[in-house]
Amino acid sequence: AQTVTQSQPEMSVQEAETVTLSCTYDTSENNYYLFWYKQPPSRQMILVIRQEAYKQQNATENRFSVNFQKAAKSFSLKISDSQLGDTAMYFCAFMKHPHNNAGNMLTFGGGTRLMVKP
Amino acid sequence: DAGITQSPRHKVTETGTPVTLRCHQTENHRYMYWYRQDPGHGLRLIHYSYGVKDTDKGEVSDGYSVSRSKTEDFLLTLESATSSQTSVYFCAISERTGGRNEQFFGPGTRLTVL
């Protein structure tokens, strides 16, 4: 079984600054995917960024980037130029490569609540 | 946005009563999932479906059943609701095509069992 740990329950950052959210995971799989989801107060789950484990290059999406360290089983999210709209819960999630009919099940961490201050 | 709706969006019920939550998609995706969200636990998988009439259990399936009679609908049933099933329930869909296997989530249903 996989486990995902987010060790920072809450974080805050000043608007326009950079913040890094931590995530570690435990798995015996070699082929898998990692995701960061954002959940604003509206409760909607929004995909922020994804990373394939076989790719060495870190994924980036505009102001969002990850630092993927496969050997260390670490997957942190960096948010640059933080904006007030980034205030949300952030969830790290793990998905092993699906086999046969198996769905793309996600294992989530407990979440980090990020507050962006003006 | 992925075409996923959940109904009802909010429900209050009493212990021992049956409850059915509905997830409807317009994307024709093969896979559908039910998760529950509780403080400190993130989202946890209850059941999932990999096709019409094809379902399997997830991490926290006890006390829940599911059915999928049509591609677009995935129902979650609590046969006899308990207070421990008070939670926010999310439906998700995915399609494994070309390696794009992200899950897209519905808006959630807040269920309170008194």
Which CATH number belongs to the domain containing residue B94 in this structure?
A: 2.60.40.10
What is the SS3 assignment for B18?
Answer: coil
Selected for mutation to probe chain B from A7, A43, A54 (highest B CB count within 10 Å) is: A43
So what's the pLDDT on residue A73? 96
What is the helix (H) or strand (E) element at residue B65, kind and residue range? strand B64-70
Would you state the pLDDT for residue B95? 79
Enumerate chain B positions whose Cβ falls within 8 A of a Cβ in A.
31, 33, 35, 40-45, 48-51, 54, 56, 58, 88, 90, 92, 94, 96, 99, 101-105, 107-108
pLDDT at B100: 66
Radius of gyration of chain A (CA): 14
The long-range contacts involving B26-29, CB below 8 angstroms and separated by at least 24 positions, are: B26/B72, B27/B2, B27/B3, B27/B93, B27/B95, B27/B104, B28/B71, B28/B72, B29/B93, B29/B94, B29/B95
Q: Where are the domains of chain A?
A: 3-117
How many CB atoms are located within 10 Å of the residue B92 CB?
A: 28
Please tell us whether the domain made up of A3-117 is placed in CATH 2.60.40.10.
yes
pLDDT score recorded for residue A101: 63
Å from A9 to nearest chain B CA?
8
User: Residue A59 and residue A84: Cα distance in Å, rounded?
Assistant: 23
pLDDT string in tens for chain B (114-residue length): 569 999 999 999 999 999 999 999 998 898 999 999 998 778 999 999 988 999 999 989 999 999 999 999 999 999 999 999 999 999 999 877 556 678 899 999 999 999
Q: Which helix (H) or strand (E) holds B38?
A: strand B31-38
**Contact between chains at A102 and B40 (C-beta distance less than 8 A):** no
Q: Report how far apart, in Å, the C-alpha atoms of B108 and of each of A22, A51, B4, B58 are.
A: 26, 25, 10, 18
Instruction: Give the residue numbers spanning the domain of B85.
Output: 4-113
Instruction: Reduce the secondary structure of chain A to three states and give it as a string.
Output: CCEEECCCCEEEEECCCCEEECCEEECCCCCEEEEEEEECCCCCCEEEEEEECCCCCCCEECCEEEEEECCCCEEEEEECCCCHHHCEEEEEEEEECCCCCCCCCCEECCCEEEEEEC
* Inter-chain residue contact A45 with B105, CB threshold 8 Å: yes
Per-residue pLDDT at B46 = 96
Contact A33 B101 (CB under 8 A): yes
- For residue A87, report the phi and psi dihedrals to the nearest 5 degrees: -60, 120
pLDDT, one tens digit for every residue, chain A (118 residues): 789 999 999 999 999 999 999 999 999 988 899 999 999 999 999 999 999 998 889 999 999 999 999 999 999 999 999 999 999 999 999 998 776 666 678 999 999 999 999 9
Looking at the structure of chain B, the number of domains it has is 1
What was the pLDDT predicted at B1? Answer: 56
